[in-house]
């Protein structure tokens, strides 16, 4: 049955991807409403060959809407999700606004689809770095019980929105042209030809010395996996890549599991594509993941410094599985 759908943040990096995926997966849409701020009101966006006009978001935007896909930041979600629920819509929210609320399911369909049914009007989409990691961890946890995870990320600039992609491109061009007058707006330091151990780019650091992105990975992983005993520690890092987050992940398990057992498990796991052929220099790459749906896993090997440990390299398109695709998979299950 076709339903009325609203996309909040339709002009952004995630919003654009929402539209591409809704179109390609033939999501059953009766009427589509594209919402953004005043800045983009009136702009035309093509969807399925038809021009739609972007409207300014307001509290009455959700009349008659059945599914609202939010990706306009946490303050917009905090303010407008309640109006959407009041209008009878079910919201899938891409922001961090409600993720850790007890009455809000935090869902990755390959991991905890059963939690969707518990929703009270809003289902939260996890952080991009968490999503790709738990897709690969769940099959291992089910067999060997994961005790501890140590993760370092290599995150693409598109995770910080379209303006961040623009800044990387312009700064790179400026440096290559030998200029020294490039004016940054977003990142705290040069991102071109550099690596920044800080995400997000502003107000990142918490009293414990971690960034909010790092603590999202810690707390969200426990909630999605439904296991508070899993210990997680993270270092999240921005790299000058446009699209695709990479992660070096070390897991310690309760039960011994070999690298070849992990490869076998992940070769059959939902949403995972195993790319692990060292003899032929085959392993996951950000460039391989861009525009694809899967979570790519490779470089699987035993951690020789402990008894029961595995190292792996996990890569996925941060705007697709990390954001828009995961949210649309949730919406498909809602229908
Ligand atoms: P972006 O490219 O900067 O786009 C931001 C979007 O939000 C634009 O459509 C913008 O509209 C809209 N917007 C901003 N302020 C608004 C307001 N006051 N009212 C209505 N619309 C407003 O950012 P993005 O990368 O698409 O990310 C958007 C949000 O999605 C993030 O802030 C984050 O919460 C979430 N996100 C989640 C993940 C994840 O891991 N699940 C990944 C990336 C992003 P205008 O064109 O009018 O400015
Ligand atoms: C990814 O301040 C904000 O609106 C947050 C923006 C943001 C978030 C977030 O916290 O919702 C940018 C990029 C995320 C996220 O997925 O957590």
| DSSP assignment of 197-222 | S-SSSSS-B-TTS-BHHHHHHHHHHH
% residues pLDDT > 90 (the chain): 100
Pocket of ligand 2 (CB under 6 A): 73-75, 95-96, 127-128, 159, 216
Active-site residue among 91, 119, 128, 141? Answer: 128
Give 28-71 pLDDT, tens digit per residue.
Answer: 999 999 999 999 999 999 999 999 999 999 999 999 999 999 99
Cα 14 to ligand 1 centre (Å):
7
Ligand nearest to the CA of 167: 1
Give the Cα separation of 43 and 61 in Å (integer). Answer: 17
Nearest-atom index, ligand 1, CA of 95: 34
For the question of residue 141 being annotated catalytic, the response is: no
Active-site residue among 91, 119, 141, 245? Answer: 245
For the question of residue 91 being annotated catalytic, the response is: no
**Residue nearest to ligand 2 atom 4, measured at CA:** 73
The CATH code of domain 3-126+323-334 reads 3.40.50.720
Instruction: Specify whether domain 130-318 bears CATH 1.10.8.50.
Output: no
Q: Report the interhelical angle of 128-144 vs 259-267 (nearest 10°).
A: 120
**Residue nearest to ligand 1 atom 31, measured at CA:** 73
The whole-number pLDDT of residue 1 equals 87
The phi and psi torsions of 29 (rounded to 5 degrees) equal -100, 130
Topology agreement, domain 3-126+323-334 and domain 130-318:
no
Does residue 112 contact residue 330 with C-beta atoms inside 8 Å? Answer: no
Pocket of ligand 1 (CB under 6 A): 9-15, 36-37, 39-40, 57, 71-74, 76, 94-95, 125, 127-128, 159, 161-163, 322-323
What does the DSSP 8-state code read for residue 73?
-
Give 256-306 pLDDT, tens digit per residue.
Answer: 999 999 999 999 999 999 999 999 999 999 999 999 999 999 999 999 999
Does residue 160 contact residue 73 with C-beta atoms inside 8 Å? Answer: no
Give 221-255 pLDDT, tens digit per residue.
Answer: 999 999 999 999 999 999 999 999 999 999 999 99
Question: Per-residue pLDDT for 104 more than 90?
Answer: yes
**Domain ranges across the chain:** 3-126+323-334, 130-318
Give 204-219 pLDDT, tens digit per residue.
Answer: 999 999 999 999 999 9
The phi and psi torsions of 311 (rounded to 5 degrees) equal -110, 145
Give 150-188 pLDDT, tens digit per residue.
Answer: 999 999 999 999 999 999 999 999 999 999 999 999 999
């Amino acid at each position: 049955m076709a339903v009325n759908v609203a996309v909040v943040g339709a002009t952004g990096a995630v919003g654009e991807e929402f539209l591409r995926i809704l179109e390609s997966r033939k999501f059953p849409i009766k009427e589509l409403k594209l919402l953004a701020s005043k800045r983009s009101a009136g702009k035309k966006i093509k969807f399925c060959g038809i021009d739609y006009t972007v409207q300014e978001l307001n509290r009455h935007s959700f009349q008659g809407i059945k599914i609202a896909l939010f990706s306009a930041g946490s303050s917009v979600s905090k303010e407008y999700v309640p109006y959407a629920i009041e209008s009878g819509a079910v919201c899938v929210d891409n922001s961090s606004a409600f993720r850790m609320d007890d009455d809000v399911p935090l869902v990755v369909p390959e991991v905890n689809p059963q939690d969707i049914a518990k929703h009270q009007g809003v289902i939260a989409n996890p952080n991009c770095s968490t999503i790709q990691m738990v897709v690969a961890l769940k099959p291992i946890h089910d067999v060997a019980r994961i005790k501890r995870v140590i993760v370092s990320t290599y995150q693409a600039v598109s995770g910080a929105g379209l303006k961040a992609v623009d800044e990387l491109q312009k700064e790179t061009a400026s440096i290559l042209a030998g200029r020294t007058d490039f004016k940054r707006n977003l990142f705290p330091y040069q991102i071109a030809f550099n690596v920044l151990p800080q995400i997000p780019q502003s107000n990142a650091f918490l009293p414990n010395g971690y960034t909010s992105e790092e603590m999202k990975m810690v707390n969200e992983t426990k909630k999605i996996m439904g296991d508070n005993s899993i210990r997680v520690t993270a270092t999240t890092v921005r790299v000058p890549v446009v699209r695709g987050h990479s992660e070096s992940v070390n897991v310690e398990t309760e039960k011994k599991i070999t690298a070849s057992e992990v490869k076998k498990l992940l070769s059959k796991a939902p949403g995972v594509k195993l790319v692990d052929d060292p003899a032929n220099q085959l392993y996951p790459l950000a460039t391989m993941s861009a525009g694809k749906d899967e979570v790519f896993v490779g470089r699987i090997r035993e951690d020789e410094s402990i008894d029961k440990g595995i190292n792996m390299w996990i890569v996925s398109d941060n705007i697709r599985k990390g954001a828009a695709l995961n949210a649309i998979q949730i919406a498909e299950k809602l229908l």
